[in-house]
Amino acid sequence: MSGIIDFFVDNANTLVEYITTYPFVRYALIVGVLIALCSSLLGVTLVLKRFSFIGDGLSHVAFGAMAMATVIGITDNMIFTMPVTIICAILLLRTGQNTKIKGDAAVAMISVGALAIGYLLMNIFSSSNNLSGDVCSTLFGSTSILTLSVFEVWLCVALSVVVVILFILFYNKIFAVTFDENFAKATGVHSEFYNLLIAVVIAVIIVLAMNLVGSLLISALVIFPALSAMRVFKSFKSVTICSAIFSVSCALLGIVISILFDTPVGSTIVAVDIIAFCAFYLIGLLSGGKAK
Amino acid sequence: MAQIICKDLSLGYDSNVIVKNLNFTVNAGDYLCIVGENGSGKSTLMRTLLSLQKAISGKLEFSDGLTSDKLGYLPQQTFIQRDFPASVWEIVLSGRCSKEGFKPFYSKEDKAIAMQNIKKMEIENLKNRCYRELSGGQQQRVLLARALCATTKALLLDEPVSGLDPMLTNQMYELINNLNKKEKITIIMISHDIESALKYATHILHIGKEIVFGTKEDYLNSKVGKSFLSNWEGGLQ
């Protein structure tokens, strides 16, 4: 028993030491928490609108765009990645029910296409001698969160604040548009505008989140909190609040574990998410909720 | 007073015309049932009335203070809603959403109106329940309360009783009939259930190869009405 306590005390001490000594650990924690918060807020809407995969699709687009930016020689590739991803997000969310290519197929097509083109470009034009390492770190975000610059941290803080404020201001409208878009539109809510807003915000979050978990695992940040919260809670407000808390706690725990035990950040966070989801699933079953 | 006037309306998607030369008028306090076979364009008409799609040609006018966004709408349940985590209160309140414009939060008045409609639909005891755990009939009442939050003048109902058992169906019809008679709300209803349509409606609009519009009595005496009814009864036997 005392062994376990010692283990925790030791690790807590190491953690405090890291946080006070190394600024990059502080940055990673701040950025991680903010991105987790933002992605979980919109996650509920995306999951309910049957757009779970848009996070995945867009992150691959962001990957392709990033590769392209590297080839063209843009040093700060966010300048290029952000607009491209936003445009794709708008195009994808616009594919409503009456288009020739259905939403899920369009997402799959664009996501695989962007992934392939991105890898191809990196392969042909790469000047780096560690190509697979580069690709791996972009896809799984293994190191980039620990190499954030002060500017990136502030950018992330600013954008996160904007996302949270937008979400609070438009919370009621987002609910109406998510629950029943036709009704909202018929009674005069500008649903196109809110869909556009959701698309832009999700694109921004994804480009930011690529630093944290890499492009393959972003969907996890979007989907897990929402699905877990939906197991247990029954109103939109409680689901939203729960998924925000869920996401932030898991991200925090994941980053801490990865720093202490030197595991890859992105996959650790997702692993924590999976365990927490299982716990919520069980709670849902036991409390007799509709955990179907 | 005429609330909705349709003149030579053609409906459809892109260049694909489904309904041609549609003429009808809806007056305040009317109870109009829209009947016709599957695929005859009933839902297209409803979507056009709600401005969810444009008419191909012809005129659709709203008057008497009614506009298309002041119509209350009871849609058919969508796939998304079946496992949507939302409380009854949140859903009914969302009917007031458009009335707020770009203001972010609901006013006291909005909440009062929502509460009033919840009482009207006799679902106060369900107020904090989760929508997806309610029975079909209860869900319809919730959506009807939401529709009432968006309107005081006219309701559009898209097959409000589909999927309900006979007892609940009757309750639903009585509820709608009460809104029409007591609250003087104009009712426009798409229905497959011609029997009930004839029981409650004041006017019938039959869409199909031939379009018939008129009072219930006119319809019963028309050729189309007679043949549609005899088919219906034949189908029952």
CATH number at residue A51: 1.10.3470.10
> Above 80 in pLDDT, residue A47?
yes
Q: Tell me if B73 is assigned to some domain.
A: no
Q: Tell me if B61 is assigned to some domain.
A: yes
Q: What is the pLDDT of residues B83-111, one digit of tens each?
A: 788 899 999 988 888 777 777 788 888 88
Q: The domain spanning residue B200 has which CATH number? A: 3.40.50.300
- Interface contact flag, A189 B78, Cβ < 8 Å: no
Statement to judge: residues B107 and B144 lie in one domain: yes
Work out whether the CA dihedral A195, A200, A206, A208 comes out positive or negative.
negative
A100 interface with B at CB cutoff 8 Å: no
Helix runs in B78-135, H state only: 88-93, 108-120
Q: What is the pLDDT of residues A58-74, one digit of tens each?
A: 888 888 888 888 777 77
Q: Tell me if B71 is assigned to some domain.
A: no
In the block, which residue shows the tokens 């939906």?
A230
Q: Tell me if A8 is assigned to some domain.
A: no
Q: What is the pLDDT of residues B29-58, one digit of tens each?
A: 888 888 888 778 888 888 888 888 888 888
Q: What's the domain range around B120?
A: 79-152
> Above 50 in pLDDT, residue A25?
yes
Banded model confidence at residue A243, pLDDT cuts 50, 70, 90: very high
A188 interface with B at CB cutoff 8 Å: yes
B75 within 8 A of B143, measured Cβ to Cβ: yes
Helix, coil or strand: residue B105: coil
Give the residue, B155 or A140, on which the prediction is more confident.
Answer: B155
> Above 50 in pLDDT, residue A97?
no
Statement to judge: residues B109 and B224 lie in one domain: no
> Above 70 in pLDDT, residue B113?
yes
Q: Which of A24-38, A40-54, A209-223 has the highest mean predicted lDDT (pLDDT)?
A: A24-38
- Interface contact flag, B69 A169, Cβ < 8 Å: no
Comparing CA positions, the residue from A103, A50, A55, A104 lying closest to residue A214 is A55
Banded model confidence at residue A258, pLDDT cuts 50, 70, 90: confident
Q: Tell me if A158 is assigned to some domain.
A: yes
- Interface contact flag, A185 B52, Cβ < 8 Å: yes
Report the pLDDT value the prediction gives residue B237, as an integer from 0 to 100. 47
Comparing CA positions, the residue from A290, A285, A262, A244 lying closest to residue A34 is A244
Instruction: Please tell me which residue of chain A has the smallest CA distance to B105.
Output: A172
In the block, which residue shows the tokens 């106060």?
B124
Statement to judge: residues B220 and B146 lie in one domain: no
Q: Tell me if B127 is assigned to some domain.
A: yes
Helix, coil or strand: residue A145: helix
Domains held by chain B: number:
2
Q: Tell me if A12 is assigned to some domain.
A: no
Q: What is the number of helices (H) and of strands (E) in chain A? A: 13, 0
Domains held by chain A: number:
1
Average pLDDT (B65-73) is 79
How far is the C-alpha of B224 from the C-alpha of A162, rounded, in Å?
A: 60
Q: Which of A92-106, B8-22, B177-191 has the highest mean predicted lDDT (pLDDT)?
A: B177-191
Of B152, B178, B197, which one is at a domain's C-terminal end?
A: B152
* Closest in A168, A171, A186 to B52, CB measured: A186
Report the pLDDT value the prediction gives residue A144, as an integer from 0 to 100. 63
Statement to judge: residues B148 and B119 lie in one domain: yes
How far is the C-alpha of B131 from the C-alpha of A107, rounded, in Å?
A: 30
Statement to judge: residues B233 and B165 lie in one domain: yes
Report the pLDDT value the prediction gives residue A121, as an integer from 0 to 100. 83
> Above 90 in pLDDT, residue A155?
no
Average pLDDT (B196-207) is 84
Average pLDDT (A198-204) is 86
> Above 50 in pLDDT, residue A125?
yes
B120 within 8 A of B178, measured Cβ to Cβ: no
Banded model confidence at residue A241, pLDDT cuts 50, 70, 90: very high
- Interface contact flag, B84 A290, Cβ < 8 Å: no
Q: What's the domain range around A156?
A: 26-286
Retrieve residue A225's tokens: 């909190």
Instruction: Please tell me which residue of chain A has the smallest CA distance to B102.
Output: A170
Least confident range of A23-37, A132-146, B213-227: A132-146
> Above 70 in pLDDT, residue B233?
no
A176 interface with B at CB cutoff 8 Å: yes
> Above 50 in pLDDT, residue A254?
yes
Statement to judge: residues B60 and B157 lie in one domain: yes
A14 within 8 A of A184, measured Cβ to Cβ: no
